[in-house]
Copies of this chain bind each other. A is one copy, B any other.
Amino acid sequence: MAPEHSKVDVLIVGAGPAGLMAATWMAQCGINTRIIDKRGTKIFSGQADGLQCRTLEIFDSFGFADRVWKESNHMLEICLWNPDEDGRIRRSDRIPDTIPGISRFQQVVLHQGRIERFFLDFLKENSDIRVERGVLPETFKFDEFLAEDHEAYPIEVTLQHLSEEELNPDQSQMTKGAAKSDGLFRSNMAADDTDELLDRASKNGRAGTRETLKAKYMIGCDGAHSWTRRQLGYQLEGEQTDFIWWDIRIISGDSANLSKFRGVLDIIPITDFPDIRMRCAIHSANSGSVMVIPRENKLVRLYIQMTTTEKGGGKPLKVDRSNITPQMILECAQKTIAPYKLTYNYCDWWTAYQIGQRICPSFSANERIFLAGDAVHTHSPKAGQGMNVSMQDTYNLGWKIASVLKGTAHRSILKTYQSERHRIAQDLIDFDHKFSRLFSGRPAKDVMDEAGISMSEFKSAFEKGNLFASGVAVDYGASILVAKEGNPQDGANGTNIGISASSVHGKPEVAKNIKMGMRFPSFQVLNQADARPWQFQERLKSDGRWRLILFAGNISNPPQMTRITNLCANLSPIIKRYTPAAQPIDSRIEILTLHSAPRASTELFSFPELLRPLSDEGWDYWKIFVDDESYHEGHGRAYEGYGADAERGCLVVVRPDGYVGWEGEIEDIEDIGRYFEGFMVVQR
């Protein structure tokens, strides 16, 4: 049979969370897209991660954070358990799991299968994009001379469509084996089985149909053993041990060999340990550590690190992998948690894992083929960050590709994917490295015990880690998209991100809590037209539009209203320049207004029409907000929260992904013009 030929704007390889996030952007922006996955089943038993506050904010910008919030287990408090003077574990500290005030969400835990379900439901409701399962990429060609040709399809991939039965029987068996079967941790352990699958299908004569697909852009979200990365010849760099579930380490100053087990148990625990529904870090005096992650449906995940001093000196005890049982892992946990008792009737999943922090130096080839998620960074599961950082990779990338394809933005913005996300991946690995070391070690007996881990250092790391782990601390460097001062090479990882000495710089002083490069924070505001309270972030949907947030200040003061009127007169031509004539005025850049005059003495129709544009459906009642007392939810004190001047206001540009691109005074209209000029395509 002759191969079928087809074309697509964006090909996404891999339908895990990173791939689905990319597809979600394409759905929102109406981009011609295909997403393939070699596996026939979509849910992997046992895979679960904590979800950062920032991830929930992102989900909310697509409209499904509420489903996660409802089904997930909420983690509120971390309890630290350490040995007391008699070596018995005691609760030494309680700290909030999410730092109060940093987000309107808190960290939660939910099975990855549910997260994927929410993405799939979104795609079904909002687009024609469907995950094609059992589709394997076989050959790859890339014509880099066509990379800068906007109309070209420089990528060619042959795909093999397997029949349902041929798909991944091993994985299926594992999934069906259900409760107590073994499993492998996603990022680090599973070898890439693309070749094996293709080979097996070919040998039994059921290879399925072949298709030759040409694509403008391609995103490889195909995991730690990424087929896409292999085609580009890129390598992950960093530590990679071959030992799966034990290794031998000589801790300096300690002459004994230590055997370390690292295991995971997902169980419904039966225990008299009082904090089993809290996130806990338990360090026993001499019997290893346990991290407790309470999950949904009464489940608890235990990360177990067993450190035993081997008798007989330097000879490591080798354990045959096939002999490992959940009972062995449980016994390790029981030793750590003693004198409390721990057992279970139901085990959902268990595994052993290794720590291997690795990163890929380059995240793209010619800004046509991109790699994201585990394909470019791997680390230990314990930090609970993997799925978040992976999804945020493609959340950063998706709108940029869509903007270029739609002719809204120049291709130059695509370089910011590498400059923005490579440093985040490096930060994650550094965090994971430090955190793993602290968790793995034996607690120090006293301040003189230098071989042990100081529990106060551990607590401090945990607290600092919380900010990192929230995801809201992400701060992208200066670029054509982030008009802040600073060395353009900082964190750019050698990428030319198109800025120069003549680049426009915003004024961070106009709103001290709105920071260029960071996500636009959220405070409660009221809709002027119907008095409904909203978290301001809820109005910044991820729909591909840029947003101008006009802090209009106290518009009951006539000179201030004059400033606003003048601004609108000057802003109108800039917005029109980047908006196709046939499109609504708010289709590329939407203006949202927040004023500080009393709501009840302000009339909607006193604002310039640009701020509440007219359409076939009447005036727009959903763009003007006020910082005032609500009837049922208190006062948002948004001006105070944002650190903006409640009289004079200011102006903020928010990127389609919610990160702040520019901020300045209401008169800085020329700067706004230059900012957009840096990367936006003129439409008329």
Contact = CB atoms under 8 A, between A and B. Distances in A.
Interface of A: 66, 70, 73-77, 94, 96-98, 100-101, 106, 268-272, 274, 276-278, 294, 298, 345-346, 527, 529-533, 600, 603-605, 616-619, 621, 630-632
B345 A617 contact: yes
Contacts of A600: 94
B106 A632 contact: yes
Contact of A294 (B98, B530, B603): B530
A92 to B, nearest CB: 13
Contacts of A278: 529-531
B70 A66 contact: yes
Contacts of A76: 530-533, 630-632
Contacts of A272: 605, 619
A278 B603 CA distance: 13
A524 to B, nearest CB: 13
Q: Which 6 pairs show the lowest CB-CB distances between chains A and B?
A: A277-B530, A76-B531, A270-B618, A277-B529, A96-B631, A77-B531
5 contacts: A74-B530, A76-B531, A94-B600, A270-B617, A298-B617
A252 to B, nearest CB: 38
B268 A618 contact: yes
Nearest to A299: B617
B618 A269 contact: yes
Nearest to A272: B605
A60 to B, nearest CB: 11
Contacts of A618: 268-271, 276, 298
A587 to B, nearest CB: 17
Contacts of A294: 530
A648 B346 CA distance: 40
Q: How many copies does the complex hold?
A: 2
A603 B274 contact: yes
A298 B617 CA distance: 8
A276 B75 CA distance: 42
B532 A74 contact: yes
A117 to B, nearest CB: 14
A618 B345 CA distance: 9
Contacts of A74: 530, 532
A371 B96 CA distance: 52
Contacts of A94: 600
Contact of A77 (B70, B73, B269, B631): B631
A101 B621 CA distance: 27
A527 B73 CA distance: 13
Given A346-B617, A604-B274, A632 B100 contact: yes
A346 B278 CA distance: 53
A522 to B, nearest CB: 13
A94 B628 CA distance: 15
A469 to B, nearest CB: 15
Nearest to A273: B605
Contacts of A100: 631-632
A530 B617 contact: no
A69 to B, nearest CB: 9
A377 to B, nearest CB: 30
Contacts of A298: 617-618
A607 to B, nearest CB: 11
Nearest to A600: B94
A90 B340 CA distance: 71
Nearest to A97: B631
A294 B622 CA distance: 13
A105 to B, nearest CB: 9
A619 B298 CA distance: 10
Contacts of A106: 631-632
A79 B33 CA distance: 48
Contact of A631 (B98, B529, B604, B616): B98
A617 B96 CA distance: 27
A296 B346 CA distance: 45
User: Considering residues A98, A106, A274, A632, which has the most beta carbons from chain B within 10 angstroms of its beta carbon?
Assistant: A632
Contacts of A270: 617-619
A617 B299 CA distance: 9
B77 A277 contact: no
Contacts of A97: 631
Given A74-B530, A76-B630, A272-B619, 13 more contacts: A75-B530, A76-B530, A76-B531, A77-B631, A96-B631, A269-B618, A270-B618, A276-B529, A276-B621, A277-B530, A277-B621, A278-B531, A346-B617
